[in-house]
Amino acid sequence: MADTLTITDNRTGKTYEVPITDGTIKAMDLRKIKHADDDFGLSTYDPAFMNTASCRSKITFIDGDKGVLMYRGYPIEQLAEKSSYLETAYLILHGELPTTPQMASWTREITMHTMVHENIKKFMEGFTYDAHPMSVFVSTVGAMSTFYPDGKDIFDADSRRKQIIRLIAKVPTIAAYAFRHSIGRPYVYPDNDLSFTGNFLNMLFKMTEVKYTPNPVLERALDVLFILHADHEQNCSTSAMRGIGSSHVDPYSAMAGAAAALYGPLHGGANEAVLKMLQEIGSVANIPAFIKGVKDGNGRLMGFGHRVYKSYDPRARIIKQAAYDVFEVTGKNPLLEIALELERIALDDEYFIKRKLYPNVDFYSGLIYEAMGFQMAMFPVLFAIARTVGWAAQWQEMLLDDEQKIARPRQIYTGYGERDYVPTGQRS
């Protein structure tokens, strides 16, 4: 059986054979289907890219129906249990898990670049005390392009590697500075004796102690959360990274755009929305009334459902367990009881089952972050730290893909036809 699609144009009676590759047809193959010789040809209309593949990628695989997520072929469950964020970052970038010498070298490279230029610190100090940490983060990442002009040499492999290492290493420092700035505390320099996440906790929470010692449970929980958020195929922010990067801009400018896309409440701000929902519910006793309101169209069940997953988000199961581990250290978040009961009811309710609404990664992550001492405004910043490696890997893959060109979607024009200009005094 031939791997082709036979299309009959009922307007002309002509038949076309279109090749099928990897379960897709090329949109450009539809251009040859024309009503007349001077016709532009058919295009696809796909608002929000609901069913359009924009690239080939070897990085992340998702099967939304089965609830499968893999980085470079490794199930997310195995990586969350056995790996570290830095090891997973190496895997995402290089395609293979590192050997012991490779991991040691990789860790050393990242560690050597955790400091930021003092003028970057001064730049951040220029923001008002109440500036949103994510706004500060986005602006500072974009400003990094002025500090590292060699970042524009995007087709030099050594230069690309250097910029990627700089981003992975410096983003936690910038994020921690944004956090300290928002609460009026002095910035804390990196401590490279600590792990990647241990050092981040140090820059966030160190006070007057000579040496900050992170709690190992919180350190590991944060590492797991970073692994779970490291990449997720062609989501909004990753598409932004690829789209901006397709103009051949430096990676700092492209990542600033990706981070800005992440800022939105439908993306990186979704766990904040979950936390606000749980706070508004207030108690387990109010859940039935809330559920009724959702069914009546008077509210939304935040943290449930996903554009890709039509079953239980595999990341949600892992985060749920991490939440229990964190609460053993921090004390139980009173909102957890509401979340658990809300999940139980929703998973047993035909209304939500029929709509394939299952808990996603955002449902429990906000509870963990709050328990660890983060303001809600920091949630998208934490997401951005983790996703940096995914953005960088996707950006590099796009640059090395011969099929890729500058992103330029088509449109369907629905405005006026040609009109003649009318002078001001003659307009009615």
- Which residues form the catalytic set? 267, 306, 362
Cβ atoms 234, 228 nearer than 8 A: no
In DSSP notation, 288-333 reads: HHHHHHHHTTS---TTB--SS-SS--HHHHHHHHHHHHHHHHH---
The count of other CB atoms within 10 Å of the CB of residue 233 is: 16
Parallel, antiparallel, or unpaired: how do β-strands 60-63 and 68-71 relate?
Answer: antiparallel
Query: Which residue shows structure tokens 């059986």?
Result: 1
Q: Which of 185, 201, 227 is nearest to 390 (CA)?
A: 227
d(CA 378, CA 190): 19
Alpha helix (H) residue ranges in 148-215:
157-182, 196-205
d(CA 41, CA 48): 22
d(CA 141, CA 136): 9
Parallel, antiparallel, or unpaired: how do β-strands 60-63 and 15-19 relate?
Answer: unpaired
Query: Which residue shows structure tokens 């160190």?
Result: 206
d(CA 129, CA 184): 7
Q: Which of 228, 190, 152 is nearest to 385 (CA)?
A: 228
Alpha helix (H) residue ranges in 229-299:
236-245, 251-262, 270-281, 287-295
